[in-house]
Amino acid sequence: MRPIWNGTISFGLVNIPVGVYSATRSERLAFHFLHEKDMGRINNVRICQVCGQEVPYDDLVKGYEYEKGEYVALSEEDFEKAAVETSKNISIMDFVEVEEIDPMFFDTPYYLVPGKNADHAYIILRETLKQSEKAGIARVAFREREHLAAVKPHGRALMLDIMHFPEEITPASELELPAEKTSVKEKELKLAEQLVDSMTDKFDPKKYKDTYREELEELIEKKLKGKPVRVKTAMRKPTTNVVDITALLQKSLKASGKKTKAPTGHRKTSSKAKAA
């Protein structure tokens, strides 16, 4: 596997050469538009709205629309100049408690792999972050923009978690959400807690499958073998806005078939809260 980016992690006067590698991969099936008549592949055609002619890819430039129909063009050199300070550097600005970071800020994870002769410094940073339970908040520029990022330990690896900037997060206050104090009955809360307890298990990511993709792959295999394809449709009964939550919780508990645990009557607290 080749790195998608090479640079350094810097904090204080310490610089650690690293390569950035993708930590995720897409398993989605790719589809293309075809001409139904002859199954020919349909290509996107780049047509200029001014001259009406097809434009080769090499003749394209990126432009910012500063007014309706008015653009300023930017070259690749312009993008490189804008990111010159951080183009090859993951610059850690602060170290913060990991639990202080709202998960909503995290976007895309990457692996950080030490460069030549950088193993020792890499291990020191990794183990320090593990023991302190902290993350380094950094800025880094790649793929034509500057990003906020967190440098975190993950097993034997250091991770670069690309983050959203605050202005990219939609505040929940903009949504119509139920009030904090609503007429919830104690019985309903206890039933809900029992249901959660009965469904509680160890997290095992291997348990969860992309059933939609599996169904599509099976359907494609049948089509390739010339078998007729029958589409299964699930009929759902219409629901109303009025729901008897108590009855639903009781039915769910019964259907789970698991032995229910007595409600604890209190919520878990963090280790820090306990220590306090």
Distance CA 124, CA 137 (A): 17
Distance CA 191, CA 185 (A): 10
pLDDT value for 118: 93
**CA geometry: angle 117, 119, 124, nearest 5 deg:** 130
Distance CA 208, CA 162 (A): 25
Instruction: Encode burial over 144-179: b for 16+ CB neighbours within 10 A, e otherwise.
Output: eeebbbbbbbeeebbbbbbbeeeeeeeeeeeeeeee
DSSP code of 49? T
pLDDT value for 76: 80
pLDDT < 70 regions, the chain: 82-87, 143-144, 181, 227-243, 257-276
Distance CA 124, CA 237 (A): 58
Distance CA 161, CA 148 (A): 9
pTM assigned to the model: 0.64
pLDDT value for 16: 93
pLDDT value for 260: 52
pLDDT value for 274: 42
pLDDT value for 231: 59
